Amino acid sequence: MASLPRHMFIPAPMRAHAYQDYAVPIGFGVTISQPFVVGLMTGTLALEGHERVLEVGTGSGYQAAVLSRLAGEVVSIERYRTLAEAARARLAKLGYDNVEIVVGDGLAGWPERAPYDRIMVTAAAERMPETLVDQLAEGGVMLLPLGPQGGTQHIVKLTKTSTGVSREDLIPVRFVPLLPGQAHEL
């Protein structure tokens, strides 16, 4: 993370806050997660360099850039076309060539490229998104903030095995909501 230009993923008026350890707004009611949470979630995925990763919630593309340095390939889905196009251009300009940004409904995932070795959701779901669990490979790990808006949320680690899914609650957090459907923005 220290080698990534985080300020390039934050709107110009907010760049003075780029390296502070808190979430920064990037538009559309969306934030770029605080560095501590990005590091914790990324480290918990235990990437070895060959994995196919699905990220739900591209935002500015920062988390996708972090994942791209550690995984074989990253598919990142964003509901807002404007954010997806800006992230796609930013990542291309900065040379992140193993990331595919797609526009769609994050709760539906991206079955065209499933199964995924790892899935990271960067917005809070109120209940377990079974469609995403279905797209996780056996032996795969999914991380997501889970819990009600305005209530207690936790980053949850799910591990899929041949006999089911195990769950581990990690830390309390507060994330923007994971909204259904694709937004029809610009």
* CA-based radius of gyration for the chain: 15
Specify the pLDDT at position 185: 63
60 is catalytic: no
- For residue 90, give Cα distances in angstroms to 2, 4, 16, 18, 135: 18, 12, 19, 16, 27
Beta-bridge mates of residue 23? none
Per-residue pLDDT tens listing for the chain (186 residues): 778 899 999 988 889 999 998 889 898 888 888 999 999 999 999 999 999 999 999 999 999 999 999 999 999 999 999 999 999 999 999 999 999 999 999 999 999 999 999 999 999 999 999 999 999 999 999 999 999 988 889 999 999 999 999 999 999 999 988 988 887 665
Specify the pLDDT at position 167: 96
Q: Which of 3, 33, 68, 162 is catalytic?
A: 33
- For residue 177, give Cα distances in angstroms to 20, 105, 126, 164, 174: 22, 13, 8, 26, 9
